[in-house]
């Protein structure tokens, strides 16, 4: 019996170490992958901005640069086209079919909250009126936060051209950020809404 208990204890300790290592990988290892991808995406986007390239962005390609001042002066993420698993490993993703930056409709984005760099970890800290800055090929856009909601993971109306009102024609440009809620769970979705405040030239 003692031998069995000792063996069980050793197995439990080993399993605990493996679990800790796996958690460490999820929190830091995946972040390292995303950081490397972000470097590549930023270089791609900067080159295209300088050369004034335009055209359709392929899945996984850089759509725009996202900056949120409230989340820190160094908060800066290249947004990729697509919201599949492979795309969201590289950074926040743009829902295909939703509006592009600055265009009438809804520039809808999704991002991880705990792994792969956790770009949307702190979007719950955003307050009404906070700026969300987007640098895209066509120009520089500043949106202002208008509100937030917690919705079911199956809710898709928040990415409609007019969020929450599917079928309605948009009269202005909006932005939507969505992520898992609460942290470490996919039970719900946290959604932050914003409206375009001003347009301008590129700032790099």
* Contact assessment for residue 163 and residue 174, using Cβ atoms and an 8 Å cutoff: yes
Residue of 94, 112, 113, 137 with catalytic role: 112
Residue of 90, 94, 148, 180 with catalytic role: 180
Helix, coil or strand: residue 156: coil
Residue of 90, 94, 148, 189 with catalytic role: 189
> Is 168 one of the catalytic residues?
no
CA distance 69 to 149: 21
> Is 189 one of the catalytic residues?
yes
Q: Smallest Cα–Cα separation from 192: which of 138, 111, 136?
A: 111
CA distance 95 to 114: 20
End-to-end CA separation in angstroms for the chain: 69
List the catalytic residues: 112, 180, 189
């Amino acid at each position: 019996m003692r031998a069995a208990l000792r063996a069980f204890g050793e197995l439990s300790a080993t399993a605990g170490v493996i679990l800790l290592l796996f958690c460490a990988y999820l929190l830091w290892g995946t972040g390292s992958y995303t950081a490397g991808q972000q470097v590549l995406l930023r270089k791609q986007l900067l080159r295209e901005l300088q050369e004034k390239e335009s055209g359709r962005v392929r899945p996984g390609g850089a759509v725009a640069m996202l900056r949120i001042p409230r989340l820190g002066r160094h908060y800066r993420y290249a947004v990729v086209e697509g919201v599949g698993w492979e795309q969201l490993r590289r950074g926040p993703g743009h829902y295909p079919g939703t509006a592009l930056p600055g265009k009438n409709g809804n520039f809808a984005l999704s991002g991880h909250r705990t792994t792969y760099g956790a770009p949307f970890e702190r979007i719950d800290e955003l307050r009404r009126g906070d700026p969300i800055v987007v640098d895209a090929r066509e120009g520089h856009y500043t949106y202002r936060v208008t509100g937030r909601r917690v919705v079911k993971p199956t809710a898709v109306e928040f990415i409609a051209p007019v969020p929450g009102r599917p079928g309605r024609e948009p009269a202005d440009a909006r932005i939507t950020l969505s992520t898992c809620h609460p942290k470490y769970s996919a039970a719900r979705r946290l959604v932050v809404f914003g409206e375009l405040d001003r347009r301008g030239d590129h700032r790099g």
